[in-house]
Structure 1
Amino acid sequence: MTWSYSSQRTFARCQRQWFYSNFAAQPRVKDPMRRRALYYGQLNTISAWRGRLVDTVISSYVVPSLSDPLSEEPMQLQDGLRIARRLFDEQRAYACHNRAATTEVTISKEGEKFALLFENEYQAPPSEDDFDNAWIEVETSLANFWESDAIWSVLNEATGLISQPRSISFELANGTKGVAFPDLIAFFADKPPTIIDWKVHANAGNNARRQLAVYALALSMCSKAHFDFPPDWKRPAIEIKLIEAQLLLDRLTHYELDDEDIAEVETFIASSAYEMECLAEGKKFTELDMGDFRTAHDGTACEVCVYQAICTEAVQ
């Protein structure tokens, strides 16, 4: 079992959902249920999809261009919008012609066009207006990103930038493996790193303080540095700068941690990892009993769960 912030949230919401996501879904198996779990796990609501698209443009195109020796100047907004529009159209077309229930492809071979929409599976398909609104929010988010002096100050001053899909591995006291997926880590020559988490939410909702604190602790405990980490990258978690960038709302929130915050996060990780370990017991999928994993108590959680079709069949 590997602990992560997202897997813990899934576990707390519904153990059965955690089982499907972390044990059942596998790309190299013949078991029909496990294959279906793989594809159902790729479903995103149109809102989540457009947020992931914004993150892809920043993480896979903008950030790499800043360290590309062949780039004479930083990528401009119009360049980013052209990439976003291409991805938007390709993924929309793919999602409109494919369903998780019938998909049978090698996801890695599908490339950036691959996308499956929750609404196409369980609700009325998104309307033309839904897609138009989604694109407007993509445009707005990217425009706010490009116009943020604070963000570009971090990007331009950094001596090294690490973005997804790269992860940070760390080890808990009991030997449990942990992994974190910060959206961006910026390293500097003469000051602590900065971690930024991109958000594309229509309202602020819950803040990302704990999530970013987990990322800071993970970086400070990182057990294996990436090849392009600077030599003196190690810093205590309380020194790492944290920024939650709500791009759609054009709002940046800075978080500072103290020793009490770190102690709380350490307890949170340790206690949740222990509960997850007790249920998984280090077993493989074939050794687990799905009946040992509780389903959500709240019916509304089931309504938005990507695995509801498989789960409904399992309990009948």
Structure 2
Amino acid sequence: MVWSVSTAKMFERCQRQWFFKTKLANARAKDWERQRAYRLSKLQSVSAWRGKVVDQVLSTEVIPTLERGWSISADRVIHSALARFDRQLEIARAHRIMDPEIKPSDFGANLAAFHCLEYDGIVDENEILRARDEVVAALRTFFGMEDLIARLRTADRLITQRALSIAHSETTVRAVPDVIAFFASAPPSIIDWKVHAFGWRDAWLQLAVYATALTRCKPHRDFPIATDSYDATDVELLEVQLLTGTIRQHILEPRHIADADAYIARTTEAMDLAVGVVNGKAAALEPRTFPATLYPGVCGRCPYRSLCWETV
């Protein structure tokens, strides 16, 4: 089993949603039910999509440019971001995600699909305008964080969106930090971008798992240092709120690592018990055997709503 913070939180919200996401959905499956689950997994709210656009711009354009020591301007990046925004919006508006004649992979990094178009048949144009404004605001906020940018420029290596995997009992824990910064004479830093309008969500668990994965994983070939020489509590953890301009440093103590380990063990055990012994054939299980959420809000936002309601 592959475990991540996001799938664990999903399991706690709705076990049936977790089943659709982690067991039924399969991008390569010829069976339409599994293919359908995969395509539905791509549905996003407009606000989640605009956060993805910001992540993509920072990961593929801004951070690599800073690492090379090249100059970069907010205006140039925003121009590129809005072009990306418009390309993806055009694809999302066409809403061909469920068309069996189209492969989602054909769209590459520009794939976008809106939950509201799948289930309501309409997108709120004011929400699109707000999303566009918030992409601009988030990037301007980033470029206003001069101390953070200066620190990133001093790094020996900046790695974005790198999947880290470690063994935890019989489970594979997977973590994908937004940015890992390596320094010659200091422990590494992990940066987590947040694009929440109110900036209230605390990311300590996610960051604790990132730090644990970084210091326990087998160092990747392009890591300039042996990360296993550090303890998870040594890693600098920064949660950067790009709409509020807040940078929150999380200081880990041994108890936080113990709490994260316990959370992984507890949720993994619950997932194993939910699936049972299936010899790798969990996709064949009946969705109705997994309890659905009791909260209408969770159900309303779920990308698998159509699949779920067919099981009732």
| Structure 1 and Structure 2 fold alike (TM over 0.5) | yes
Cα gap change, 1:54 to 1:245, in 2 (>3 Å)? same
The amino acid that maps onto 1:226 is H
Aligned match of 1:225: 219
Q: Distance in 2 between matches of 1:114 and 1:148?
A: 30
Aligned match of 1:76: 73
Q: What does 1:19-98 correspond to in 2, within 5 Å?
A: 19-68=19-68, 73-98=70-95
Shift in Å at residue 150 of structure 1?
Answer: 3.1
Aligned match of 1:144: 141
Cα gap change, 1:87 to 1:30, in 2 (>3 Å)? same
4+ residue stretches of structure 1 with deviation over 4 A? none
* 2:207 is equivalent to residue 212 of structure 1: yes
Q: Distance in 1 between matches of 2:101 and 2:4?
A: 28
Unaligned 5+ runs, structure 1: none
Cα gap change, 1:23 to 1:286, in 2 (>3 Å)? closer
Q: What does 1:122-271 correspond to in 2, within 5 Å?
A: 122-123=119-120, 125-164=122-161, 166-172=162-168, 174-222=169-217, 224-234=218-228, 235-271=230-266
Is the deviation greater in 252-261 or in 270-279?
270-279
Shift in Å at residue 299 of structure 1?
Answer: 2.0
Q: Distance in 2 between matches of 1:214 and 1:178?
A: 9
Shift in Å at residue 80 of structure 1?
Answer: 1.1
Shift in Å at residue 180 of structure 1?
Answer: 0.3
Is the deviation greater in 11-20 or in 289-298?
289-298
Cα deviations across residues 164-192 of structure 1 (Å, max 9, x unaligned)? 1x2000110x2211100111111111111
Shift in Å at residue 99 of structure 1?
Answer: 4.3
Shift in Å at residue 124 of structure 1?
Answer: 5.6
Cα deviations across residues 39-65 of structure 1 (Å, max 9, x unaligned)? 110011110010110000001111222
Shift in Å at residue 27 of structure 1?
Answer: 1.3
The answer (yes or no) to whether the contact 2:287–2:308 under 8 Å persists in 1 is no
The amino acid that maps onto 1:154 is R
Q: Distance in 2 between matches of 1:175 and 1:62?
A: 38
Unaligned 5+ runs, structure 2: none
Cα gap change, 1:305 to 1:201, in 2 (>3 Å)? same
Task: Note the aligned Cα RMSD (angstroms).
Answer: 1.7
Shift in Å at residue 7 of structure 1?
Answer: 0.7
TM-score by length of 2: 0.94
The answer (yes or no) to whether the contact 2:3–2:268 under 8 Å persists in 1 is yes
Cα deviations across residues 238-279 of structure 1 (Å, max 9, x unaligned)? 111111111011111111011111111111111111211222
SS in 1 for 2:23: helix
Q: Distance in 2 between matches of 1:292 and 1:150?
A: 52
SS in 2 for 1:207: coil
SS in 2 for 1:198: strand
TM-score by length of 1: 0.93
Aligned match of 1:274: 269
SS in 2 for 1:242: strand
Is the deviation greater in 151-160 or in 177-186?
151-160
Shift in Å at residue 286 of structure 1?
Answer: 4.4
SS in 1 for 2:174: strand
SS in 1 for 2:70: coil
Q: Distance in 1 between matches of 2:295 and 2:101?
A: 32
The answer (yes or no) to whether the contact 1:87–1:112 under 8 Å persists in 2 is no
The answer (yes or no) to whether the contact 1:245–1:253 under 8 Å persists in 2 is yes
Q: Distance in 2 between matches of 1:292 and 1:191?
A: 50
Q: Distance in 2 between matches of 1:286 and 1:311?
A: 14
Shift in Å at residue 104 of structure 1?
Answer: 4.3
* 2:109 is equivalent to residue 109 of structure 1: no
